[in-house]
Amino acid sequence: MTDVAGKRVLITGGASGIGCMLAEQLAARGAAIVVWDIDSDGLDAITSKLRDQGHEAHSYQCDLSDRRAIAATAAAMRDADLHVDVLINNAGIVSGDFLLDLTDEHIERTFAVNTMALFWTTREFLPGMINNGAGHIVTIASAAGFAGTAKMVDYSASKFAAVGFDDALRVELKSMGTPVTTTVVCPFYIDTGMFHGVKTRFSWLLPILDADYAVTRIADAIQRNRHRLIMPRMVMSVFLMRLFPVAVQDAMMKFLGVTTSMEDFVGREPH
């Protein structure tokens, strides 16, 4: 069990969406919260809310696409004597367009935030966890890390990498005999605004996940030391689909409506 009560939890991308809700939920469970985000207004809002509720909360403005900014922010935390017990790599962005319509900058930023930031934050805080004899690294990936979807080539590829990052890191930490736990979270679309406009063909089978439900499941998975959380369960069928010929797999994904789920994507309004 990873009892978050009395532990310090760092959440990247914590000024809105799932990150912000996780901050509130874990604070309610007794955790001290540190939030990183590029959105300074959102940071002020969540930090003030948590402090008003009597929780310990800190925030740092940080561009998660910038390796140097991550290093500088981590150094600032160490200078403030703020160690990290649980690192939740939650920051993520989505372009939601066809590959040939994406700019070079769109693609590079998607990988910088969704993939490369995992490496930089983990390398900053893993040594301290090992020295302290405990720690937990959480990767918020996606069901798109198991199956590709039209208009998500960059996003899906970045999340495939995130799943691989967690998978290899878990094995590596075990082989090293370290006491650090890992959890990867792979949800279908969550109703937070980030994927506004997406649709599902069979809502009873592949529902757009309620944000409160998803956050509670994630918080529970962290506390129970679950190595992998996939939701809803139907997403696990992707593993079985890969045993079939590609044409059969593609037909099944089209039937389920996954292939066309991004047709009406709008996304979150920019800050």
Residue 167 near residue 184, CB atoms below 8 Å: yes
Residue 268 belongs to some domain of the structure: no
Let me know if residue 2 belongs to a domain: no
Provide the domain limits for residue 213.
Answer: 8-256
Whether 271 is in a domain gets the answer no
Domain count, the chain: 1
Mean pLDDT of the chain: 94
Catalytic amino acids? Answer: 155
Structure-block tokens of residue 98: 């066809």
19 Cβ neighbours under 8 A, 6+ residues apart:
11, 12, 13, 35, 37, 88, 90, 91
- Tell me, what CATH number does 43's domain have? 3.40.50.720
Q: Give residue-wise pLDDT tens across range 175-229.
A: 999 999 999 999 999 998 888 888 888 888 888 999 999 999 999 999 999 999 9
Domain assignment present for residue 95? The answer is yes
Residue-wise pLDDT tens digits, 68-122: 999 999 999 999 999 999 999 999 999 999 999 999 999 999 999 999 999 999 9
Q: Report phi then psi at 126, rounded to 5.
A: -60, -40
